[in-house]
Amino acid sequence: MAPTSPRLSAPAKSTPTFSPDKTSVVFVLGGPGAGKGTQCAKLVRDYGFTHLSAGDLLRAEQDREGSEFGDMIKEHIKDGIIVPMEVTVHLLENAILDKDEGRGRFLIDGFPRKMDQAVRFEEAVCPSKFVLFFDCPEEILTERLINRGKTSGRADDNAESIKKRFKTFVETSVPVVEYFDKQDKVVKIKAVKSPDEIYEEVKKRMGEKGFEMVKD
């Protein structure tokens, strides 16, 4: 029997917690294995971003002793199902607040994965600047993840979970990308070349969006 999802209070807000004038949020999306984490590390190094991985925050909460959401998160991740929106948004808001009270640049990796997450975050936490979308075919993603699974130790880096994760991505995250694209808020990157070649394109597009490098 699946565990009952704990309830998380979610009071309505008339304004977001953080102002986009002081807090720059860039969503980072792409299929599983698209290289989001690799590219985020380079952006942190060169542009002064703080990298927040929705997946990492969920896995940390899953393992945190005494977490009321731990069992539910574990079951959702194992089955390739998206964790309830309230939990993910709550964890991200707390993580932003922990970093200099939300001032600065934030990359949110692997989020939003559903429309309700996108709408809720922008209404309650902070409007995003744009979505950095890494586009890569399923066969390449699968090959990358199978290879990663040999050393990553992640329970979801196996063929069955990968197929579920990609299906979930197409059904739920692609509409999010299309939603932001209609607002001219998507930077689409072809993620099939080497990480360094991909990053050259990322840097070019970041410059077009007004982000300057802060590397010494």
Query: Would you list which residues are annotated within the binding site for ATP?
Result: 33-38, 148, 193
Binding site membership: which residues?
Answer: 33-38, 59, 81-83, 110-113, 117, 148, 154, 165, 193
Q: Is the distance from CB of 62 to CB of 73 less than 8 angstroms?
A: yes
Which residues contact residue 147 at a Cβ distance below 8 angstroms, ignoring those fewer than 6 apart?
Answer: none
Binding site membership for a ribonucleoside 5'-phosphate: which residues?
Answer: 59, 81-83, 110-113, 117, 154, 165
CA–CA gap between residue 124 and residue 15 (Å, rounded): 6
Q: How is residue 90 written in tokens?
A: 């709550």
> How far from each other are the two terminal CA atoms of the chain, in whole angstroms?
54
CA–CA gap between residue 216 and residue 137 (Å, rounded): 36
Q: Side by side, which strands form the sheet with 49-53?
A: 49-53, 104-109, 23-30, 130-135, 186-190
